[in-house]
């Protein structure tokens, strides 16, 4: 039997999260999240932005200990959070290299400033965006209403107490 590598685990986790988010009762007509225009994709997009949150409440809805799924998952956790980002609010610069996530926009809209895109990306109500791999970014609510987001991510054991894991 081939050993499960950490990168295999993250890839499988990202696929699992995508399947859960896309199949969790979303209307069949829901759009995928705003994406970077093909001619704007880059490996050196937006530079690091704000490092501190502003106008954001971040509440853990539920967690699942994944240790029972095998040795490769020992100490890992599946976490779902609700984030409410007020107008002008900021989710600070963070990386998804070791923490795959799916974000579902429940209401409002929010703009992403990504390391993989030369231009800001607008995400609207009903959209889902997958965050994984060599992605670092920050988000800002440039709208006039609060943006409500649900985030599902996988935390490795070393990230359980990482308050910076937005």
> pLDDT tens digits for 81-126?
999 999 999 999 998 888 899 999 999 999 999 999 999 999 999 9
Q: Would the pLDDT of 52 be above 60?
A: yes
1 inside domain: no
66 inside domain: yes
CATH of the domain at 41: 2.60.120.10
165 inside domain: no
21 inside domain: yes
151 inside domain: yes
166 inside domain: no
- Complete DSSP assignment for 86-137: EEEEEEEEEE-SS--EEEEEEESEEEEEETTBSS-EEEETT-EEEE-SS-EE
pTM: 0.74
pLDDT of residue 161: 57
Q: Would the pLDDT of 20 be above 50?
A: no
- Read off the pLDDT band of 77 (50, 70, 90): very high
164 inside domain: no
50 inside domain: yes
Instruction: Report the number of distinct structural domains present in the chain.
Output: 1
Give the structural domain span for 15. 6-159
């Amino acid at each position: 039997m081939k050993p499960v590598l950490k990168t295999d685990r993250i890839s499988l986790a990202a696929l699992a999260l995508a399947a859960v988010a896309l199949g969790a009762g979303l209307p069949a007509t829901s759009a995928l999240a705003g994406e970077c225009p093909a001619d704007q994709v880059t490996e050196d997009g937006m530079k690091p932005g704000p490092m501190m949150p502003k106008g954001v409440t971040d509440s853990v809805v539920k967690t699942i200990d994944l240790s029972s799924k095998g040795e490769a998952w020992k100490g890992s956790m599946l976490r779902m959070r609700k984030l409410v980002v007020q107008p002008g609010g900021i989710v600070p610069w963070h990386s998804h290299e070791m923490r795959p996530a799916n974000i579902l926009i429940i209401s409002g809209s929010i703009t992403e400033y990504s390391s993989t895109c030369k231009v800001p990306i607008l995400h609207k109500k009903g959209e889902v965006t997958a965050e994984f791999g060599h992605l670092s970014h920050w988000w800002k609510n440039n709208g006039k209403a609060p943006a409500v987001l649900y985030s599902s991510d996988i935390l490795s054991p070393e990230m359980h107490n990482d308050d910076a894991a937005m």
